Amino acid sequence: MKIKVHHGMCQGHARCYSLAPDIFQLDDSGYILPGDIAVPAGQETLAQRGARSCPERALEVAED
Amino acid sequence: MATRAAGAVVPDHVPPSLVRDFSYFRGPEMEPTPCGHPQAALSFVHREGPAIFYAPNNTYDGRGTWVFTKAEDQRAVLNNTEVFSSNRGIFKAALGEDLPMVPLEVDPPDHMKFRALLNPLLSPRRVDAMEAGARERAVRLIEGFKAKGTCEVMNDFAFPFAVGVFLQFLGVSDDRRDEFLGWANEQFHGTLEQRLNAMRTVVDFMKSLIALRRREPADDFVSFLLAAEVEGRPLTDKEILGVAVLLFEAGLDTVAAAVGFDLYHLATHPEDQQRLRGDKDLIKPAVEELFRAYSTIQMLRTAVCDFEYKGIPIRAGDLISCPTMIANRDPAEFPDPDRIDLARDNNRHTAFAYGPHRCLGSHLARRELIVGLEEFLARIPTFRLKAGSSPITYGGYVFGIENLDLAWD
Ligand code: SF4
């Protein structure tokens, strides 16, 4: 599973990070790092929950 | 000819079919109400429609606003900063002082340079470092009334806690806490005259703090701002003052109100209180759900040009209201929105707004609520509303709760 990161839409809510800090990494200002995220096996549910808590719809779950 | 409804003027361009008698200040549970639930009282708008309507008398000073009720439409407004400006000159209107609250009243693209400067100060990681101090304050306050078996949450806990954390952030010593508490109380809950006086006092205090730190820099917030640069130039005194005043305005009443609503909920929903006591890991998601269900603020924007949104004619100068408490009960966004489920998943609530102006202090506010609830639940046994007391809730610009008397055995 992959998380597509729409970096321009991130407004720094850090909701994804607060659920799964190891999957969603933030810069010093609290915005998500650019680039899609390859979700490690076994962490799909957590990644999905993190993505679905983003109020800006900046994270998109992509099955591959 | 402009038409009149409920004693207020409806501009010509507003189709009469879209006019609704609606106000955050009047109407059921918006005025001070014993044991009220002002957020729940507004969710009727989703059942009655339309999704966007015009409320002719919906500000403190009696102006009309559009009301956007759906989360999706609010997102569209709050992300379109070119049409919907955030600069309303709040202080200018109130005090006649040209003092833009930075960065709230600065629109993009200028907005970003101030946010870039301030974000690291209130980032999730920075908040980690502030947690110990906040926890110590919460513990001290709670231990102070624990043995009494009762407390009045707003005065004994919510306000002193929020003010204490703010002073810690500002780098001002704790012995000024009572003074600050008095200003906060008058500013947020006083008569119009008291409010204006308190606002002046806060502005004057911040001015003197800036002057002091110019003479004697320290390792604190104002000194940081004095040393900071945007676009290769230092901030002006007015900009520094704007930031400091905004933090005061935004960080006290809102945090205190959230503490009040959350404890009110737990006092009146013993099953939820038990659930949290039994599962400490639930406190974090529960705080998010309580932010959703008891959101307290609305975003106001001014259209800077004519604009048509989904067939609605908006004219330059129109005010657009995006109430968080209404978007957060939008059935298109949250299944069964009026049900409060402490473990709710996919909770994309908007209590801290959307878009570039997303609340700068959100990470600190969230942590204050988590720490506050953790310590309250750990130290105070099962609590309930004190017999014979009724908490008074109200609507307005910031929804809130006046008093909350709790008791425990
Ligand atoms: S939740 Fe969304 S807005 Fe927030 S940091 Fe993550 S990606 Fe950015």
Angstrom distance (rounded) from CA B216 to CA B192: 36
Task: Tokens 């966007």: give the residue.
Answer: B52
Inter-chain contact B352–A13, Cβ cutoff 8 Å? yes
For B345, nearest residue in chain A (alpha carbons): A49
Q: B231-285 pLDDT, tens per residue?
A: 899 998 888 988 888 888 888 889 999 999 999 999 999 999 999 999 999 999 9
Q: What is the pTM of this model?
A: 0.93
Kindly give the residue spans of alpha helices, DSSP state H, lying in B252-356: 253-268, 270-278, 283-293, 324-327
Question: CA A13, CA A6: separation in Å to the nearest integer?
Answer: 14
Q: Whose CA is nearest to atom 5 of ligand 1?
A: A14
**C-alpha–C-alpha distance, residues A48 and A56, integer Å:** 15
CA of B230 to the centre of ligand 1 (A): 25
Average pLDDT (B3-13) is 70
Angle B169-B174-B178 (CA atoms, 0-180°, nearest 5)? Answer: 110
Question: In this structure, what token pair is assigned to residue B344?
Answer: 């709710």
A59 within 8 A of A50, measured Cβ to Cβ:
yes
Question: How many angstroms separate the CA atoms of A46 and B194, rounded?
Answer: 50
| Lookup: tokens for B23 | 């106000």
Write the residue in A11, A17, A52 that is nearest to B355 by C-beta.
A11
Q: Give, as one character, the DSSP assignment of residue B63.
A: -
Measured between beta carbons, the chain A residues lying within 8 angstroms of B116 are 29
The residue among A47, A12, A39, A15 whose CA lies nearest residue B366 is A15
3-state secondary structure of B262: helix
Does pLDDT of B388 surpass 70?
A: yes
> Using CA atoms, how far apart are residues B173 and B171, in angstroms rounded to an integer?
6
The answer to whether the peptide bond before residue B120 is cis (omega within 30 degrees of 0) is no
B107-111, B142-146, B227-231: which is most confident: B142-146
pLDDT(B5) > 60: no
Q: What is the pLDDT of residue B7?
A: 55
What is the per-residue pLDDT for B4? 46
Q: Which positions 2-61 of A are in contact with B (Cβ < 8 Å)?
A: 11-15, 17-18, 26, 28-31, 49, 52-57
pLDDT digits (tens, 9 = 90+) for B46-101: 999 899 999 999 988 889 999 999 999 999 999 999 999 988 777 777 777 777 78
Express each pLDDT in B113-138 by its tens digit: 888 889 988 999 889 999 999 999 99
pLDDT of residue B365: 96
Q: How far is the CA of B400 from the centre of ligand 1 (A)?
A: 28
